[in-house]
Amino acid sequence: MNNRTVCTSITATLCATLAFASTQAIAAKSGGGGSTACTAAVDFPAFAYWKPGGKTMEILVADATGKCVRSVISSSGTGGTIQFSYPVSGTTNRGRVVWVAAPAVVSVDFTVDDLTKQITVFAKKTIYSGTGGFISLSKNGNALYSTRYLSAGGLVIDRLELDAVGEPIPNTTSAVFVAPDGSNVQTISVNSAETVLFADYKPISGASPIYQLVYVLLPGGSITATSVLDFNNSSRELNPAVDPWSLSNRVAYQRVAATAGSCDLLVTSSDLDPAPVYPLQSAYGMKPTWLKGKILADGRVASTRNGCDYTGIIMETDPVSGVQTALTSGYDPDGK
């Protein structure tokens, strides 16, 4: 069956994904992402992501086009927890990646050669040895927010300061939010000023079976009826990500679509206002992040079986038009 026959029997989006995957395979065999692509890169690194590799995951960084790619580290871990900052505050060429390697939270720093875009990777550090919760790294890379269950029950979100080389600074951990007993918090995302935190929030058991998108004013804020921005019509998380460059606290998240096999539709909202803006109905994705005003997310496509499949491709989405562009193969990007 030739490509034309295939493209008449499945969606155009899936055809574009297949064509992109084929191109990526050819590039990989011929040294794709090598010296030529990286020498020409003007915004490296722009985001971090991971690829599966046997029993480990390989963490990589790429430029904004996804063509210049450098491997940072192979590690155990749980995909979807990567957080990225570049350049770290006070530096011009130092980057930081933090992720959950359950039950620990770990990090690694690297520096970038401006000419060749080669990276020098430093030793992996353990930030927390036993939390393994959900994390959010500040835009400047100097503060880590993480969820923590209390031994007596309940959950808090901690803020921990990191020094210039990524080491935890002693006695700087503070609880910035205490969740009501019986509730649950998952994905979290802090804005660049560290004044607002967005979260997947499930209220006290019995009050609501669904996740809500909420915001909390930092430090010490609480969740009220007016801080609920949206919710999913299912038990699926919304995975919020605030735009680090937006002064209006623009946040991207996912919402289950009414059609297309219940694919996740990318959504944006601004100004802490519960008025979501829906891009084109074909703008499917999961686990969004931001990069230069565009949304990066795991690609999703409606299947011929009335389901919804991962494409294995990181997609860039224009939040105004909903137009999507394939960048590179991988999962769970986090932009700077």
Q: Which of 67-71, 144-148, 306-310, 321-325 has the lowest mean pLDDT?
A: 306-310
3-state secondary structure of 281: coil
Name every residue whose Cβ is closer than 8 Å to that of residue 111 and which is 6 or more positions away in sequence: 93, 94, 95, 119, 120, 122
Q: What is the largest CA-CA distance in the chain?
A: 64
pTM: 0.86
CB within 8 A of 211, min separation 6: which ones?
186, 200, 201, 202, 231, 232, 235, 236, 237, 238
Contacts of 53 (CB under 8 A, 6+ apart): 74
Lowest mean pLDDT among 12-21, 49-58, 259-268: 12-21
Q: Residue 215: what pLDDT?
A: 93
Average of per-residue pLDDT across 15-44: 56
- Mean pLDDT over residues 34-40, rounded? 79
What are the CA-CA distances from residue 203 to residues 212, 268, 320, 333 (Å)? 8, 22, 32, 28
Position 25 confidence tier, pLDDT thresholds 50, 70, 90: very low
Q: What pLDDT score does 209 carry?
A: 67
Q: Is the pLDDT of residue 27 over 70?
A: no
pLDDT digits (tens, 9 = 90+) for 198-237: 999 988 765 566 888 999 999 988 888 888 888 876 678 8
Q: Look at residue 5 in the predicted model and tell me its pLDDT.
A: 34
92 Cβ neighbours under 8 A, 6+ residues apart? none
Q: What is the token pair recorded at 308?
A: 């919804």
For residue 30, how many other CB atoms are within 10 A of its CB? 8
Radius of gyration of the chain (CA): 20
Percent of the chain with pLDDT over 70: 81
**Mean pLDDT computed over 169-193:** 91
H helices present in the chain, as ranges: 3-7, 12-29, 35-40
pLDDT at residue number 257:
77
Task: Answer whether 103's CB lies under 8 Å from 129's CB.
Answer: yes
Higher-confidence residue of 184 and 277: namely 184
pLDDT at position 284 is 87
Q: What pLDDT was estimated at residue 117?
A: 95
- We find that the CATH architecture of domain 3-335 is 6 Propeller (2.120)
Per-domain residue ranges for the chain? 3-335
Residue 42's alpha-carbon distances to 37, 45, 63, 165, in angstroms, are: 10, 9, 8, 25
**Quick one: pLDDT at residue 281?**
59
